[in-house]
Structure 1
Amino acid sequence: MIATGLLALMIGATFAVLLSSIAELRAMEHRAEQSENVLVATNRLERLVVDLETGQRGFLLTGSAEFLQPWQQARAAFPQQASALEDLVAGSTEQHARAVRLTQAGTSYLHDYSEPLIAAAQRNRAAVNVLAATEEDQRRVTAMRTQFDQLLAAESQLAAVRQDSVDGVARRAIIAAAAGLTGSILLVALFTWYLNSRILRPVRRTAAMAGRLAAGDLSARVPGRGVGEIGVLQRSFNTMAAAVEQGRRELAGSRVRIVAAADRARRRIERDLHDGTQQRLVSLALQLRAGEAAVPAEHPEVRAQLADAARELTTALDELRELSRGIHPAILTEGGLGPALKSLARRSTVPAEVAVEVPGRLPEPVEVCAYYVVSEALANTAKHADASTVWIDARVADGRLHLSVRDDGRGGAAAAVADDRGGAAADRGSGLTGLADRVEALNGTISVASPAGAGTTLLVDLPVQPGA
């Protein structure tokens, strides 16, 4: 009887522990699903902020009303999405405080900055300082993204703690099952198998995929065959990952479209200047020269005035050509990258040597990007490097354009990029930052090596074939 009682007590205790463990696992699954919902809501809110930024920037750069549609949609959806995020994290004081700060920052960005800026640009876009607005926009959005990262990191840490709790509960359940009587071994083994295969393994797999997703692997997915809440969790995770991946693709696509729109605008302005204003100025100069030649010799003062006017007009025409070349060089459109880089080298105030191994023409966005990289690099060298020579090398290999600009100056450009305190260093850093945005929009890479006293080397790698 005592043995029977002990056996019954042991079996009852074993099953009590197992039932308690199952209840805890169910609760932890619910909290894990809650964390996934928080991550999804946070990413959706961040995507709305990105839509506000890209729509605003596109409208300021191009003046095209089509960029206002995603901006308006994001503005309309932001309050509801922010409120949803605050509701999701209401159970955590710290997370709720972070969500409130995010909502306040986003609301301030929208009402105190973005809406007045868009309204001003709609009234008179020429009166808006696009460069200053872009820098201020980047500063504000970067600050908000930092807050997004903090909230996501805190939620991921909470999820990790909950996963540790899940593992602890699982270990306790297995130990309790192993301590059961010999007669209950089969039952305990079957239940452990069910627990491991239907709950623990999917949760661990989902946690592993969440780690990969957080590390930047946007292709991470889990099988959606789980039962009950596990299946819901898996499908929610896959939906979230797909949304994040789609958002990343859309962001990359919007960057490409913005850069392409800006380049088309530059090219159109250059063409209008060349075919319109420059031609009229040339015709007017010729008329002045003809009028000068037709003035009788007894009126030398009239001839001198016409000669002065013709010279001033010729100077203005030269300045207009230089301005037109800076907007979008005609030689790049007509001759390609090689002649354009050689033209930059000839006009450089620092002696420049050019080596180009580019067979034929490259895609227009690649040529334009490479041209402005070299142009900015030469300008930085002339302003800051105190160099005696610049070496420009451009070659195509393995479906990619490899571009380097190297000087023998005093270096320190890498520090200038990180310096945001103003002055020449900040100007230099903002120029390189703009180049990085243009290069990354084409799926390229850019790096700067600039040890103090050892010159500066700018390396750019751009794909010249689709999918390269």
Structure 2
Amino acid sequence: MPRASRWAFRLLFCGYAFGLACWLLLGLLPTLAQSVGTVHGWLLSMASGSGPLAVGAHRVLADDPMMPLVPPWQAALDYGFSALNVGLGLALFARLPDALEARLLATALLGTAATFNGPSHRAFHILGNPWPVALLHFTFHVASGVSYLWAVVLFPDGRLPRPLRAVPGPGWAWAAALTAAVALICWWSSFLTHPVFFVLFFGVIVSIVGGGAQLLRLADPAVDAPARAASRLLIAGLLPAAATSVVFLGGWLVSRVAPGELFGSVAAAAQNVFPAAFALVPIVLCAAMIRHRLWDLDRVLARILVYGVLGGVAGAAYLLVAMTAGTVARDRLWWSVLALALVVAAFEPLRTAAGGWANRVVYGQVTSPAQALQELATGMAVLTPAGGLEQVERVTVASTRAGTAALYLVDGDRLVAATGEAQIALPVAGASIDEPMLQRLLGADTWPVSYHGEVLGALTVTVRPGARLTAADRSFLGDIAAHAGLLLHNALLGISLSRRAQELAVSADQLRGARRRLVAAFDRERRSLERDLHDGAQQALVAGIIGLRTLAYAPDSAAELRQLEQVLETARTRLTEVATGPQPAELARLGLPGALRKAADVAAASGLRVTVEMPDPAAGGAPGAGPDLGAEPPIGVREAETAVYFCCVEALQNAAKYSHASRVDVVVARDEEQIRFAVSDDGRGFDPAALADRGGGIPGLLRRLTLVGGMMAVESAPGQGTRVSGSIPRQRVPEPTG
């Protein structure tokens, strides 16, 4: 646009705004003349003179019954509407003076600030319609109508919808014709009853034309998502004005054909409320532009929207109560009290709903940036680290145009999703992490999350299809990432503590297991020592005791003493074996046959006649006899041979101590399936049923055989001797290997 044209528009707009200021001040003169003494005196002195000003001052001071004063509440509503439009229009002109849609809307806003102002119109007629003021009056009517109509048609990008651009014929001709027609209608409206015209033109014509143009945009598949959202917002803003105008038209038409004042009151109420309903239209239009271009005015606009909705609902409730008090409650107080209670009860839910709607209009989201930061700050104090991270993601989506949001934590050589299971490996473990690296890994819409200068993770978002992140969104996402630094720090501390606790729990379980194994091993070793002492050294000591007893009756004790010395040496050897290893030394040195013969010699010292039989297949022994038992056994056979050895020695000891036998036979054999042994004596025998009650060494032998998978049987009867036999399965005793 040429520079001269820009400056020409700015000068014209400034003159236009100055004329509006004069028009609005003119409307305050009658009220100020009656309520402010200084203004009243100034008008009296002016009226005492001559000229046009004197005539005007006299008319302002005169009490004209044909032009009654506007009620104070109506004047406050009119000037509030005018102030809102003036503020929005000047803000648009200051920020976007060269944008076509902003120029149209700013001109329309200032025009409607004048045309909707009832006190100014009353003052204009009191003064007698002087031509300078009449020129302003016509200008405001024409400018507001034409600019508003084109603003809603060209919104939001300053161009006609695609279907309208395809209309045959020169576009400028259609535009000129439409502009001339609207200008003529607005000029003609200057001579009509203004409130009725405003409701019809701005509530019906502007709503139909603007809504139709936006519907054409929504039907065009080429329109992008932000433009579609803006069109939907404008349609939503036009609906209250259209609904109010429909109520007005309905009440006005019915009041013309039906008797009674009810429908006339409805029409009058809708007419009074219409400026507040129509105020949503400029607010939505400005909000849609400000959302992308004037970020610093968003809070003011959001509050205006909220308070506007609350004020409109309160006003509607007041009108409803006023209209129905006489017919429903016969002007009783309880009706007003009930209505007030209902309004108070609905205030907070209505404020919340209005706040969400205002945020969607201004920010395009349910949560404003200020509310989002406040929610995050509150959550930091009451939520766990995991809950705080989930809240960051939720608030990010609710307060920006992001479709999804995710927080990632740096965990060693990986990026781990804070609220999911996704993991991304870092390109170089231990390398410094910066924003370019995070954007390469997670995408362009990624912000690093740091705490005290150390990058702890990243905040990444994905944008909904057809949408884009604005500069304000990106700035706010940077603020959220800065806020999330402490949360990620606390979360990483929690993860570290959790891992340490898990390691300590594993260590504690291992210690408990080791303690149980140690106690079990100690108990097994104690029982093993008990068995070895019982089955080994105890036998030699018993034999020694018996030998000592026989010395008292032996005529020549030299031989018995030498034999007793051997027995005691054997006991010493057995004790040494228990102290130094699990296998008796004689068994390890002599093998099973030699060890059994040695034990037989010890038992023979007590007066027994002991035989040891171990059949050898090579010598024509018993059928099924196994290999030579005197050979050195492999490691796998030692446990079985030790068990057989101790069983046989225990049986010899029991025969010497209890049976009063004269002869004991020991037989050991081995075939392909098992090792067998048997120890038989010709003593006095006993009842095997009493064996468990007696205790002794036999139960210990049974436990020893059970450990190696063997079994044992005791056969005895009083006066018939005793036979102790047992076997160990072959699979538990593998064949020796070369």
More RCO (CA 8 Å, sep 6+): 1
Q: TM-score, normalised by structure 2?
A: 0.21
Richer in helix (by share): 1
